[in-house]
């Protein structure tokens, strides 16, 4: 018995048979198999896995170009979208970097201004202290101390006068008491 592969009804007879007959088929005649044994065609050049891979490639080859062009078109549109997004990001980045640069310059200017103001404040404090002026109220510290000292002196003087008058009043009251008795 000899087994042969015939093209199936589903395949196109012209293309399939041409492909099958163009293959180099090696028949194995030498072995211990009796003469009435079964002969099988073997393809020693390609493994079985290569045959399986070959068939799907035929299908993709027939359907491939339209799908390929479609995929390429989709990739081109996606690439264009990515390019525009990239350009937008670059423009935003450039704008942000410009803003950062401006803010850094402004910050440096403000830091210098703060340093100058601190130096000016220290100078003013030295001047106020040298003139004995209170920085909070703006009044002269010596004048305030002199006024406070004057007030204290007047209070002490008035207190002494009051005490003296009370003593005199007490003496007069004691003398009148004796005179009345």
- Per-residue pLDDT, 34: 52
What's the CA angle centered on 124, arms 146 and 130, to 5 degrees?
40
**Cβ partners under 8 Å of residue 133, min gap 6:** 139, 140, 141
CA distance 78 to 94: 24
One pLDDT digit (tens) per residue for the chain, 181 residues: 455 555 444 444 444 444 445 445 554 455 555 555 454 455 455 445 444 444 444 444 445 577 889 999 999 999 999 999 999 999 999 999 999 999 999 999 999 999 999 999 999 888 888 877 777 777 777 777 888 899 999 999 999 999 999 999 999 999 998 898 8
For residues 119 and 154, membership in a common domain is answered with no
**Cβ partners under 8 Å of residue 124, min gap 6:** 135
Name the domain count of the chain. 2
For residues 139 and 129, membership in a common domain is answered with no
Establish if 3 belongs to a structural domain. no
One DSSP character per residue, 138-155 reads -SBHHHHHHHHHHHHHHH
3-state helix, strand, coil in the chain (%, to 5): 75, 5, 20
Point out the domain boundary residue: 98, 115, 133. Answer: 133
Establish if 2 belongs to a structural domain. no
Report whether 28 contacts 42 (CB < 8 A).
Answer: yes
Establish if 164 belongs to a structural domain. yes
Output Rg (C-alpha) for the chain, integer angstroms. Answer: 59
For residues 160 and 120, membership in a common domain is answered with no
For residues 146 and 173, membership in a common domain is answered with yes
For residues 107 and 80, membership in a common domain is answered with yes
For residues 140 and 124, membership in a common domain is answered with no
For residues 75 and 115, membership in a common domain is answered with yes
Per the DSSP assignment, residues forming a β-bridge with 27 are: 41
Residue in this structure with the two tokens 């005199």, named with its chain if needed: 168
For residues 115 and 103, membership in a common domain is answered with yes
Report whether 45 contacts 54 (CB < 8 A).
Answer: no
Report whether 29 contacts 41 (CB < 8 A).
Answer: no
Establish if 41 belongs to a structural domain. no
Establish if 63 belongs to a structural domain. no
For residues 110 and 141, membership in a common domain is answered with no
For residues 117 and 77, membership in a common domain is answered with yes
Domain that holds residue 168: 135-180
Residue 41 burial (C-beta neighbours within 10 Å; 0-12, 13-18, 19+): middle
């Amino acid at each position: 018995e000899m087994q042969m592969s015939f093209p199936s009804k589903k395949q196109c007879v012209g293309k399939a048979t041409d492909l099958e007959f163009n293959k180099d088929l090696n028949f194995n005649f030498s072995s211990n198999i009796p003469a009435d044994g079964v002969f099988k065609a073997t393809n020693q050049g390609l493994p079985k896995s290569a045959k399986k891979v070959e068939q799907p490639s035929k299908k993709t080859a027939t359907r491939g170009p339209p799908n390929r062009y479609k995929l390429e078109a989709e990739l081109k549109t996606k690439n264009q979208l990515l390019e525009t997004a990239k350009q937008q990001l670059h423009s935003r980045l450039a704008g942000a970097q410009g803003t950062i640069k401006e803010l850094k310059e402004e910050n440096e200017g403000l830091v210098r201004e703060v340093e100058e103001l601190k130096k000016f404040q220290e100078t003013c404090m030295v001047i106020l202290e040298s003139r004995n002026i209170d920085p909070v109220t703006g009044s002269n510290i010596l004048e305030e101390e002199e006024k406070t000292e004057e007030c204290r002196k007047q209070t002490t003087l008035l207190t002494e006068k009051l005490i003296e008058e009370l003593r005199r009043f007490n003496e007069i009251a004691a003398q009148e008491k004796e005179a009345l008795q």
